[in-house]
Structure 1
Amino acid sequence: MVHLHVEKTIAAPPDEVFAWLADPVNLKTAPLILTADWARDSPTPGLGAIRTGFAIGLWFREEMVAYDPPHSYTYLIVGSVPAFDHEGGTLTFAPDGDGTHVDWVSTYTHPIRGGGKAMEALTAKLLPWNFAAVLDGCAKALER
């Protein structure tokens, strides 16, 4: 099982940071993400919304399973290639001085059909780097 944890304090208000990070278009600030958007069949952003994307070596579809702006949201990968057995990813947003502390946690495994332990070793290195790049992109976009 892989447990990822990335955090960053961003010099912007929680509501702005939450909205920026919840919008799948902004996931493209990660080096490996090529496209990301709301799924065509998705309800409006919020609980039950579906985000989809393509990355180098990965396709994903994730559902917002908890949505509490501007405090937190949780997503669950509900489809992907390679396969993930995703326990969920949660982003929490806490005021920190004049900014927002973002805490991003995700836990998953790759079943044998998705590459198993070899894929876990690879994604355990690549995903935190990409999560951090998304947080850096948020800071660059919102910090004044």
Structure 2
Amino acid sequence: MLEKTQTVATLTRFDPGFKLCNIHIEVIRSPPPFGQQRRSTGPEGRRMRTVDIEYTIAAPIEDVFDWLTDATNYWMVPTVREVTLIRPGDIQGSGNGAVREVRAWLLSLTEHVVEYRRPTLMRYRIEGSCPKLRHDEGFMEFRAVPGGTQVRWYTRFEVAAPVVSGPLTLWMQWVVIAGFRIVLHTAAIDLRRFPLSRAPGGASEARA
């Protein structure tokens, strides 16, 4: 049983003090279906940017879902410096209610899992971040396709800056796009080397 606060993995890398920034977000709605995006309205919504990536991984849908929704795997991502499981969910360390902090080089996020439907959907909201973000929606959706699993990773946000929010949000959009692709590529490589479905104990036993 995981403790309520547990450092899953810490990488020895420079820490420029990400914990100085924090913002509480309470916006959460049902995810739009594959191929569709939700439009935000109002002054803040006009500045929001969407990252909507589809990526196919040559592995069973259960394996892909378990890898990408388990924060303990993110320490393998080259741009991630630290992963902390703040509160475990209702299914081992993941599941509904899980809260985890992921610190990367240019972005730090505290994510709260609000919907967990294995193996097709994980929906989350960002409760803290640096730089500060206003978050509209975030989810991972999984679909079995010939040859593997299609992953759709969707998020919509803006940088909460008093000035130049638009340019900063555009820059952060490219940071998030690059980060999503690196995570998905890392998952694809690791699942090719260590298929989870062949190891009853999951990822850790597969790599033993």
Length-normalised TM-score, structure 1: 0.89
Once the two structures are superposed, residues 35-88 of structure 1 have per-residue CA deviations (whole angstroms, 9 ceiling, x without a partner) of 12311x444411110010212233221100111010010111101121111112
- Percent identity, aligned pairs only? 29
1:126 aligns with 2:175: yes
Q: Tell me how far 1:31 sits from its aligned partner.
A: 4.2
2:163 and 2:69 mapped to 1: Cα distance?
26
Residues 114, 17 of structure 1: CA spacing in aligned structure 2 closer, same or farther, 3 A cutoff? farther
1:89 touches 1:107 (CA, 8 Å); kept in 2? yes
Tell me, which stretches of 5 or more residues in structure 1 are unaligned?
none
What one-letter code is carried by the residue in structure 2 that aligns with 1:23? D
Equivalent pairs counted in the alignment come to 143
d(CA) in 2 for partners of 1:49 and 1:88? 17
The list of structure 1 runs, each at least 4 consecutive aligned residues, that deviate by more than 4 angstroms after superposition, is none
- Alignment of structure 1 residues 1-144 onto 2, 5 Å: 1-39=48-86, 41-43=87-89, 44-112=93-161, 116-143=165-192
Q: Residue 143 of structure 1 aligns to a residue in which SS?
A: helix
TM-score by length of 2: 0.63
Structure (1 or 2) with the greater strand fraction: 1
Q: Cα–Cα, structure 1 residues 128 and 30, in superposed 2: closer, same or farther, change >3 Å?
A: farther
Unpaired segments ≥5 residues, structure 2: 1-47, 194-208
User: Max radius of gyration: which structure?
Assistant: 2
CA-atom RMSD in angstroms: 1.9
